[in-house]
A = this chain, B = another copy of it.
Amino acid sequence: MSGGPAVDDESPERLARAALSHLVGYGNARLAAAIRDLGPAEAWEQARPRHPDIEPRRDLDRLREVGGWLLCPGDPGWPDGLAGLDRAAERAEPEYGTPMALWCRGAAGPSRPGQVEPTGLTDCDRHGVAVVGSRAATGYGQHVAGELACSLAERGWTVVSGAAFGIDAAAHRGALAGDGVTVAVLACGVDIPYPAAHLRLLDEIRERGLLVSEVPPGSPPLRRRFLIRNRLIAGLARGTVLVEAGLRSGALSTARHARRLGRGLMVVPGPVTSAMSVGCHRLLREHREVCALVTDARDVEEEIGPIGLRTDDGLSSGGGRPAGPRDSLPAVVRALLEAMPARGCVGVAVLAARIGQRPRDVLAMLGPLAVEGLVEARPGGYRLTALGRGPTQGRPGRDDGEDDGLFPTREVLP
Complex CA–CA separation, A284 to B295 (angstroms): 11
Q: Is A90 an interface residue (CB 8 A)?
A: yes
Question: Which residues in B have their C-beta under 8 angstroms from that of A90?
Answer: 414
- Which A290-337 residues sit within 8 Å CB-CB of chain B? 292-296, 299
Q: Is A256 an interface residue (CB 8 A)?
A: yes
Chain A 266-304 near chain B by CB (<8 Å), digits 1 or 0: 001111110001110111111110001111100100000
When C-beta atoms are compared, the residue in chain B nearest to A284 turns out to be B293
Q: Is A64 an interface residue (CB 8 A)?
A: no
Are B413 and A273 interface neighbours, CB within 8 A? no
State which of B93, B247, B248, B411 has its C-beta within 8 Å of the C-beta of A414: B93
Whole-angstrom distance between the Cβ of A332 and the nearest chain B Cβ: 31
Q: Is A83 an interface residue (CB 8 A)?
A: no
State which of B143, B248, B281 has its C-beta within 8 Å of the C-beta of A295: B281
Question: Which residues in B have their C-beta under 8 angstroms from that of A96?
Answer: 413-414
Q: A285-B299, A406-B283 are in contact. Are A269 and B293 (CB under 8 A)?
A: yes
Q: How large, as a class, is the contact surface on chain A?
A: 35 or more
Question: Which residues in B have their C-beta under 8 angstroms from that of A414?
Answer: 89-93, 96
Are B89 and A271 interface neighbours, CB within 8 A? no
Complex CA–CA separation, A96 to B413 (angstroms): 8
Complex CA–CA separation, A404 to B253 (angstroms): 12
Question: Which residues in B have their C-beta under 8 angstroms from that of A91?
Answer: 414
Are B227 and A413 interface neighbours, CB within 8 A? yes
Whole-angstrom distance between the Cβ of A234 and the nearest chain B Cβ: 11
When C-beta atoms are compared, the residue in chain B nearest to A253 turns out to be B413
When C-beta atoms are compared, the residue in chain B nearest to A277 turns out to be B269
Q: Is A165 an interface residue (CB 8 A)?
A: no
- Which A91-117 residues sit within 8 Å CB-CB of chain B? 91-93, 96
Complex CA–CA separation, A49 to B398 (angstroms): 49
When C-beta atoms are compared, the residue in chain B nearest to A228 turns out to be B413
Question: Which residues in B have their C-beta under 8 angstroms from that of A286?
Answer: 404, 406-407
Q: Is A225 an interface residue (CB 8 A)?
A: no
Q: Is A405 an interface residue (CB 8 A)?
A: yes
Q: Is A152 an interface residue (CB 8 A)?
A: no
When C-beta atoms are compared, the residue in chain B nearest to A286 turns out to be B406
Q: A288-B288, A293-B293, A413-B227 are in contact. Are A269 and B253 (CB under 8 A)?
A: no
Complex CA–CA separation, A279 to B247 (angstroms): 26
Q: Is A62 an interface residue (CB 8 A)?
A: no
Q: Is A140 an interface residue (CB 8 A)?
A: yes
Are A296 and B284 interface neighbours, CB within 8 A? no
Are B273 and A406 interface neighbours, CB within 8 A? no
Are A413 and B256 interface neighbours, CB within 8 A? yes
Are B273 and A140 interface neighbours, CB within 8 A? yes
Q: A227-B413, A413-B256 are in contact. Are A295 and B283 (CB under 8 A)?
A: no
Are B281 and A285 interface neighbours, CB within 8 A? no
Are B292 and A252 interface neighbours, CB within 8 A? no
When C-beta atoms are compared, the residue in chain B nearest to A281 turns out to be B295
Complex CA–CA separation, A285 to B302 (angstroms): 10
Q: Is A259 an interface residue (CB 8 A)?
A: yes
Q: Is A137 an interface residue (CB 8 A)?
A: no
Are B248 and A287 interface neighbours, CB within 8 A? no
Q: Is A212 an interface residue (CB 8 A)?
A: no
Whole-angstrom distance between the Cβ of A141 and the nearest chain B Cβ: 10
13 contacts between A and B (CB under 8 A): A89-B414, A93-B414, A96-B414, A140-B271, A140-B273, A144-B273, A256-B406, A268-B272, A269-B269, A271-B271, A281-B295, A283-B406, A288-B288
Q: Which 6 A-B pairs have the closest CB atoms?
A: A91-B414, A269-B269, A272-B295, A284-B293, A93-B414, A285-B293
A143-B273, A252-B406 are known; give 5 further A-B pairs, CB within 8 A. Answer: A253-B412, A256-B407, A256-B411, A257-B413, A285-B299
